[in-house]
């Protein structure tokens, strides 16, 4: 049997860091929004061991890849000695703050559980996911969510009314930002490092309304402090997008992707045309409707 699955990405509508924890991770509150722009994964039971292939030659296909580690962890935990073949068609940009790798790992856990007859309960999958990476539990479900802890504690919400019928414009500048780098460099920005809890709840309540100036004001990302200082072009992107028809613009996760929220797909396409005539054609871009 062969299983084909889509592996979506996310943006962080808010990422508020609440200080460094004794274990080296950062406490945070984040509002994560699924984005229907997907990698494609194919899974097949085959022989023994894990064989991973990938359309993107830059990516490792051994235990350095989260898909490989997710599969390994799944097979060991479920006590399965059979092997799997996995193929990844990569469409989501790398080191982009869009959670592509985390989503791939979660999709792998869900797909293997299906392929092998659901040997693991969803609590167990969540446990494996959290051990593999802070963002991975979010991708085990498909709703917007408030994530707390180091990002692994998920409280799902129904789709936010403010986003209904709107569209994302995603812009990746052609360079990535390493997540550990962004967190380490936050140390130079004490205010951004030690945010006050409560901003997430405030944003979530605004997202039930259609008060766009208010929502745009409540979008926030602590990791912009180091990222926009090192890469000022990302700040210029946001200013341009806001001045040229976007309802709001922010960096997602640890960057480097900037996302804009636009009134409709048509509006996002028109903002994108203006963006290209100002900044050229070198960025990776996508327009994605929001359901
Ligand atoms: O958990 P994940 O593997 O995604 O984290 C990657 C890196 O990002 C960690 O090694 C750590 O440097 C940083 N991080 C953090 N606090 C978090 C999440 C990630 O410091 N809450």
Atom index in ligand 1 nearest the CA of residue 102 equals 4
* Mean pLDDT computed over 109-135: 98
| Any atom of ligand 1 within 6 Å of the Cβ of 259 | no
| Any atom of ligand 1 within 6 Å of the Cβ of 113 | no
Task: Look at ligand 1, atom 2, and give the residue with the nearest C-alpha.
Answer: 133
* Mean pLDDT computed over 176-189: 97
209 pLDDT more than 90: yes
Confidence of residue 71 (pLDDT cuts 50, 70, 90): very high
| Any atom of ligand 1 within 6 Å of the Cβ of 181 | no
114 pLDDT more than 90: yes
Confidence of residue 240 (pLDDT cuts 50, 70, 90): very high
pLDDT of residue 225: 98
Confidence of residue 144 (pLDDT cuts 50, 70, 90): very high
Confidence of residue 122 (pLDDT cuts 50, 70, 90): very high
Q: Compute the distance between CA of residue 109 and CA of residue 127 in angstroms, rounded to an integer.
A: 11
For ligand 1, the distance from its centroid to the CA atom of residue 213, given in whole angstroms, is 31
The answer for 204, left when phi > 0, alpha when psi is -120 to 50, beta otherwise, is alpha
Mutate to test the pocket of ligand 1, among 10, 18, 25 (most ligand atoms within 8 A of CB): 25
pLDDT of residue 124: 98
Catalytic pick among 90, 135, 166, 206: 135
Atom index in ligand 1 nearest the CA of residue 28 equals 21
| pLDDT over 90, % of the chain | 98
Atom index in ligand 1 nearest the CA of residue 132 equals 3
* Mean pLDDT computed over 234-239: 98
Confidence of residue 98 (pLDDT cuts 50, 70, 90): very high
Q: Compute the distance between CA of residue 131 and CA of residue 15 in angstroms, rounded to an integer.
A: 21
Mutate to test the pocket of ligand 1, among 15, 136, 179 (most ligand atoms within 8 A of CB): 179
291 pLDDT more than 90: no
The mean predicted confidence, pLDDT, of the chain is: 98
The CA dihedral of 47, 50, 55, 60, to the nearest 10 degrees, is -150
Q: Which residues pair with 41 in a beta bridge?
A: 5, 88
pLDDT of residue 247: 98
Please report, for residues 124, 165, 171, 247, 278, the alpha-carbon distance to residue 273 in angstroms, rounded to integers and kept in the order given.
Answer: 46, 20, 12, 16, 9
147 pLDDT more than 90: yes
Three-state helix/strand/coil letters over 30-47: EEEEEEEEEEEEEEEECC
116 pLDDT more than 90: yes
pLDDT of residue 29: 98
Mutate to test the pocket of ligand 1, among 150, 154, 186 (most ligand atoms within 8 A of CB): 150
Active site (annotated) includes residue 135:
yes
Task: Look at ligand 1, atom 20, and give the residue with the nearest C-alpha.
Answer: 25
pLDDT of residue 1: 80
Under 8 Å CB-to-CB from 277, ≥6 apart: which residues?
A: none
* Mean pLDDT computed over 135-153: 98
For ligand 1, the distance from its centroid to the CA atom of residue 2, given in whole angstroms, is 33
* Mean pLDDT computed over 232-249: 98
* Mean pLDDT computed over 53-58: 95
| Any atom of ligand 1 within 6 Å of the Cβ of 141 | no
Atom index in ligand 1 nearest the CA of residue 179 equals 8
Contact 186, 26 (CB under 8 A): yes
| Any atom of ligand 1 within 6 Å of the Cβ of 133 | yes
pLDDT of residue 138: 98
pLDDT of residue 67: 98
Please report, for residues 50, 51, 110, 167, the alpha-carbon distance to residue 45 in angstroms, rounded to integers and kept in the order given.
Answer: 10, 10, 14, 38
């Amino acid at each position: 049997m062969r299983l084909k699955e889509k592996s979506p990405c996310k943006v962080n509508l808010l990422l508020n860091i609440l200080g460094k924890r004794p274990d080296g991770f950062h406490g945070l509150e984040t509002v994560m929004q699924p984005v229907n722009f997907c990698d494609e994964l194919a899974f097949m039971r085959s022989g023994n061991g894990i064989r991973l292939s990938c359309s993107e030659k830059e990516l490792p296909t051994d235990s350095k890849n989260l898909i490989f580690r997710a599969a390994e962890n799944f097979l060991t935990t479920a006590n399965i000695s059979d092997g799997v073949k996995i193929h990844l068609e990569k469409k989501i940009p790398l080191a982009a703050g869009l959670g592509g790798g985390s989503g791939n790992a979660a999709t792998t856990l869900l797909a293997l559980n299906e392929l092998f007859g659901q040997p693991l309960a969803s609590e167990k999958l969540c446990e494996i996911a959290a051990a593999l990476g802070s963002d991975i539990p979010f991708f085990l479900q498909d709703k917007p969510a408030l994530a707390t802890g180091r990002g692994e504690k998920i409280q799902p919400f129904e789709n936010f009314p403010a986003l209904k019928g709107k569209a994302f414009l995603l812009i990746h500048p052609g360079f990535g930002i390493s997540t550990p780098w962004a967190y380490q460099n936050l140390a130079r920005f004490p205010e951004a490092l030690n945010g006050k809890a409560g901003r997430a709840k405030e944003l979530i309540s605004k997202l039930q309304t259609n008060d766009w100036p208010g929502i745009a004001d409540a979008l926030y990302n602590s990791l912009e402090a180091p990222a926009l200082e090192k890469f000022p072009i990302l700040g210029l992107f946001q200013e341009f997008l806001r001045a040229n028809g976007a309802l709001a613009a922010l960096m997602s996760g640890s960057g480097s992707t900037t996302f804009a929220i636009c009134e409709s797909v048509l509006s996002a396409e028109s903002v994108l045309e203006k963006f290209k005539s100002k900044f050229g054609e070198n960025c990776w871009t996508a327009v994605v409707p929001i359901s």
